[in-house]
Structure 1
Amino acid sequence: MTITEILNKRPVILGSRERYDLRCVPFSTRGSFMCIVEDQEDRNLYLSISRSPAFMMERKNLVRIVPVVDNKEISFEYSAEPGKMTIKTYRGTAEICFADKKQIRIRGEGISLRFYFKMQMFENCSPKENGDFEIAYEILGKLLFVPLKGAVWCNAKWNCETVQAEDFIIDLIPPVETMRFETAVHEYYSNRMRDNEYVPFDDCVRMAEEDFKKFCKRFGEVPEKYSDMALLAAFTIWTHQIGPEGRLKNSLVYMSRTSSVRAFGYQQCYQAMASGGDIREAWKMLLSMFDYQNEAGQIPFYVSDISMSWLAACAPLHGAALDYVFNMCDSDELKKEDYAGLYGKMSGYAGWLLDKRDRNRSGIPQYYRADECGWIDAKAFKNGRPVQSADLLALTVLLTEYCGRLAIMAGNETEAGKWMNESKRLLAILENEFWDGRKFVSKDAQTGEIVETGVTASLLPVILGKRLREDIVNAIVNRLTSEDECRKDISPISCLLPIGLCNAGKKELAFIIAGRFCDMVCEAVENKADKGKIENKKTKQDFVNGLTSEMAAAFLITVSYVLGEE
């Protein structure tokens, strides 16, 4: 099934009575910083802005949203489709959609909708002469509430002692005659007035739906068993694609909308792989982080609209991503200049990695921080020293090989030979110095001693497929088949394991590993509580994990490339 076919059968993706709800993925649209979330603990709905000066989002629960009748809060349920979100009560409904990435539209019937604002120093709410209200935040930007039908009521007051507006509420109130209201909410940084005209609500819904369907064409087909999760994963990536704005020069996919609101360098490679149904979109994602590359060749660890970090190096996934994309896609659309453009950038990054991440001049690139790898288990870094890791070597083998391949396709034969030889050198080191006869190992870069690592690091070199010796592939297959520990890792980078197994000719085991991974992802984010209950409770049964765009891409890669081939 294609994602569009799944959507046509089941348009509701998230809901209080659905398998997945707004605790795992917020309601939003492509390009928008605004979103609607459900809090994990208090189970309330909040308007949020995915912007934070700190690495982890500080004000996720920005504005609480609740339906009101006769000035009293009432219970509700909700459901969300790509085009709109619906809040249902016993007295009426409220619907929320995105007119564009900077404007939310809200309409209701039979009820009012209340917004609770909590302010900080210097933040304020200002009424305008035409009945609009502007809320100004420090760093987060501004919101403008514009009544289109009915009224917007606000009780904000400025406190001269605390130098901020006191906490206040805004009510969207319908007129008594029709009991229907409609409001526009604009998000911006500087100054704004209401629009002269507003697109009809239903047209906004339709445009968002059409954009999502068009976006989903880049994804492959999926089995019926995983159709719900595949639809959610596609929606997650769509709502996490942000930019250009601020320091974002282009369109990137944020890791999360409610926690680490950043676009990480290596994760754009996963997005390129997940977009394998559209070579142009995949190519854009492969190139995306190189717009921020410095003169030395390094790319940032992450970027956002307000910050950029060089704290750590990005895992060099570009070679593995290209290997996957070329195996999956028809590359006839690409031209010589496309190859030359990516080669120039990727070879610069590979050169930086081989030079600047090998301080002891051992000829082996190293991890210097635990967050440079994609492992969940990072015990190899417990001594605080750089680590020479088999998985980093394997990824660099592919990175340098594809620098050579791109050079050939760009017509640069001389450069190609240099990179191909470097790839062969690294592969020989990997097999001769980091294989102990049963598994791949990692070493303390300073002492050369073998250090304990998690399972993923020792298995990941299988991404090299038939480039590895047959005895090594067979040993990895034996571990994946017989060792329970090898079956429990749900880190996104594990999606590379079934791909490597397929490349090595072990398709039957690849199907099994892929199915196991997909099952774990589905289980992790599913709403296991009684459907429809939105209560304040903190039980293990009622907890769900948020679905990051990285995990969403890993799921679509695995389910489409491996299971979709069955």
Structure 2
Amino acid sequence: MFDIKEIPFSRYGSFITISPNHHEDGERPLYLRNIRNGDNEFGEVFRIDLVHEGNPLPYQALLSPTLLRLESAEGFAEFCITETRVLQIRSHCTGIRLTGITGAYDYAVPVENERWEVNHSRQEMRYMLTSIKGNLVVDAPFIEQRCEKIIVDFLPDPLSGEMEGVIEEFTTVYQQRSYAAFSEGHNLVKKEYKSWLENTLEIPEQYLRGKEMASYITWSCVVPPEGMLTRPAMYMSKNWMTNIWSWDHCFNALALAKHNPNLAWDQFMIFFDLQDRSGMLPDFVNNRSALWNFTKPPIHGWTLSRMWEQNDFVTEEKLKEVYQPLEKWTKWWLTFQDSDQDGIPQYNHGNDSGWDNSTIFHKGTPVESPDLSSFLVLQMEVLAEIACKLGKNDDARKWMDESQALLDRMLDHFWNGERFVAKRSGTHEIIESDSLVLYVPLILGNRLPPEILNKLAEDIKTKGFLTEFGLATEQPDSPFYREDGYWRGPIWAPTTMLLTDGLLSSGNKDLAFEVAEKFCSMAAKSGMAENYNALTGEGLRDPAFTWTSSVFLILGHLLAAEETR
């Protein structure tokens, strides 16, 4: 069982979600939500209550991957999203009241006996409400252009005490149909989820509870192709981070690559489907829109190399599909993100780095940071490898030469003999920072001189980054450190993944496994949160995040593989 206050109830391929609003004070009622259209609003359609003899009942919510059960002293109600657009409900000795969260033009109309349509214009969705067993009672007085209220009661049959009903979302015309019994629909969803769980990465037994949580979060956060979404997309969360961002998707793709390669490829390629002519990728996308004010760092070459290591599904056909988009993405950074023309690409905003408020940006932008050059060194190397496999030998040589040239410039520009530093573009003023982002060049592994690799690993151990729970994103003794400071202290899954991979690539195996073990132990205990307090391990911000779940599974699988050696 999971906590509905932390983890929403949903399912694979659906925008239908049930959860409380985290921004409410005091009472935390549940809402039926439509999580389309981005994270600017919560998407409430109906408030959900249990009722008995017309009065709301207190209840306890019990959440499993395929069923939400509300228990009260008078009886219970159960919810199952049996199809991606169909929510089926049943109850015993209690009714279910849906109170519409309405706007300017929302209304409800009777369609036929025991069936009503609710047109929720605020959420741009229609809902067909059907009573299968029991009674449907609707209070929806129409005033001028809308119903002043919409209150729907699914009530049990007075003799049997049983109720079954259906809520189906649609956009234009409802297609007449019948529905399977609740139990039959629920059994089908259970089979589907069981298959997903069985294909989730194997991890050590001590993290089993964490695996169950991570598996459910990743399964339930996938939404279908719709609008701007060209492929099935794993959202970051169905709490309120209801988009995908253009580096988050890479970590989710990595966790799927071994056992669910087609979905992994969809996660990886979805942003390239949206790529601008210039080569830029949008910052995020949802079914309605993409945001172009920012972007995210070019970790895609690194991701692709880690994906094709897992199995042979990255075929020549797929390499042809990705080569030109990856090339354009690389050239965008080299061409349009180097305003002083010194051959060192820059970030124009912290959001572009993924480390939104990192201390490398505390003196303003643009900023030249060694992590960006490191990602591009790897990405050009991957382009060379793809070009070679596709018979583009001249391209392969060109990309290898450019990769080596950028690596040489990077070492000369950022390494001060003791550490990597960030600099202001143009003036090359050194930015004083104790951010973990300056250690991301570890992902270059043995491409770096041994003395640099050793110094980076030693600093991670001795400079306070490695706490009891994992890698803090800012040294805890830094004046900028904040316990809930986003990228100024908390532990994050993606940075943990990148640094663990870098430590392994550079031969620091023991330290890599120590970092992985700390992170997995923390996440299994504190949940799959957006980030964590580096000194207590407490989960922070959004409590049900997919890239955290994916990194937990990847690192847990790494530890499991090590155990079997």
Q: Using structure 1 for the length normalisation, give the TM-score.
A: 0.88
Q: Aligned-pair distance for 1:126?
A: 2.0
Helix, strand or coil at the partner of 2:188: helix
Contact persistence 2:344–2:410 (CA under 8 A): no
1:3 aligns with: none
Helix, strand or coil at the partner of 1:83: coil
1:154 aligns with: 138
Q: Aligned-pair distance for 1:168?
A: 3.3
Contact persistence 1:118–1:166 (CA under 8 A): no
1:399 aligns with: 379
Of residues 96-105 and 378-387 in structure 1, the stretch that sits farther from structure 2 once superposed is 378-387
* 1:76-475 pair list within 5 angstroms: 76-140=59-123, 141-160=125-144, 163-193=145-175, 195-278=176-259, 279-327=261-309, 329-331=310-312, 333-375=313-355, 377-475=357-455
The number of equivalent residue pairs is 528
In 2, Cα distance between equivalents of 1:441 and 1:238: 40
In 1, Cα distance between equivalents of 2:233 and 2:504: 29
In the alignment, structure 1 residue 516 sits paired with structure 2 residue 518: yes
Q: Aligned-pair distance for 1:483?
A: 2.1
Contact persistence 2:39–2:242 (CA under 8 A): yes
Q: Aligned-pair distance for 1:448?
A: 0.8
In 2, Cα distance between equivalents of 1:492 and 1:372: 18
Helix, strand or coil at the partner of 1:204: helix
Q: Aligned-pair distance for 1:97?
A: 0.8
Contact persistence 2:47–2:101 (CA under 8 A): no
Deviations 1:16-45 (A, max 9, x none): xxxxx1232211111111111133343321
1:390/1:563 CA distance change after superposition, 3 Å? farther
Q: Aligned-pair distance for 1:111?
A: 0.9
Helix, strand or coil at the partner of 1:431: helix
In the alignment, structure 1 residue 553 sits paired with structure 2 residue 550: yes
The letter of the residue matching 1:274 is A
Helix, strand or coil at the partner of 2:17: strand
Of residues 555-564 and 493-502 in structure 1, the stretch that sits farther from structure 2 once superposed is 555-564
The letter of the residue matching 1:557 is I
Contact persistence 1:106–1:182 (CA under 8 A): yes
Identity score, percent: 27
Of residues 109-118 and 477-486 in structure 1, the stretch that sits farther from structure 2 once superposed is 477-486
Contact persistence 2:45–2:102 (CA under 8 A): no
The letter of the residue matching 2:116 is F
Which of 1, 13, 29 is the aligned partner of 1:44?
29
In 2, Cα distance between equivalents of 1:502 and 1:256: 29
Contact persistence 1:158–1:165 (CA under 8 A): yes
1:417/1:542 CA distance change after superposition, 3 Å? closer
1:497 aligns with: 499
Of residues 468-477 and 553-562 in structure 1, the stretch that sits farther from structure 2 once superposed is 553-562
In 2, Cα distance between equivalents of 1:462 and 1:409: 27
* 1:472-483 pair list within 5 angstroms: 472-483=452-463
Q: Aligned-pair distance for 1:420?
A: 1.3
Helix, strand or coil at the partner of 1:128: strand
Helix, strand or coil at the partner of 2:180: coil
Of residues 210-219 and 341-350 in structure 1, the stretch that sits farther from structure 2 once superposed is 210-219
1:59/1:284 CA distance change after superposition, 3 Å? closer
In 2, Cα distance between equivalents of 1:468 and 1:136: 61
Q: Using structure 2 for the length normalisation, give the TM-score.
A: 0.88
* 1:7-18 pair list within 5 angstroms: 12=1, 14=2
1:62/1:280 CA distance change after superposition, 3 Å? closer
1:430/1:544 CA distance change after superposition, 3 Å? closer
1:32/1:526 CA distance change after superposition, 3 Å? closer
Structure number with higher relative contact order (C-alpha < 8 Å, ≥ 6 residues apart): 1
Which of 2, 27, 34 is the aligned partner of 2:9?
27
Contact persistence 1:26–1:257 (CA under 8 A): yes
Contact persistence 1:218–1:281 (CA under 8 A): no
Helix, strand or coil at the partner of 2:96: strand
RMSD, aligned α-carbons: 2.3
In 1, Cα distance between equivalents of 2:252 and 2:20: 25
1:456/1:216 CA distance change after superposition, 3 Å? farther
The letter of the residue matching 1:344 is Q
Q: Aligned-pair distance for 1:544?
A: 7.5
1:522/1:496 CA distance change after superposition, 3 Å? same
Gaps of 5+ in 1: 1-11, 15-20, 528-540
Contact persistence 2:21–2:42 (CA under 8 A): no
Helix, strand or coil at the partner of 1:553: helix
In 1, Cα distance between equivalents of 2:323 and 2:271: 14
Q: Aligned-pair distance for 1:49?
A: 1.0
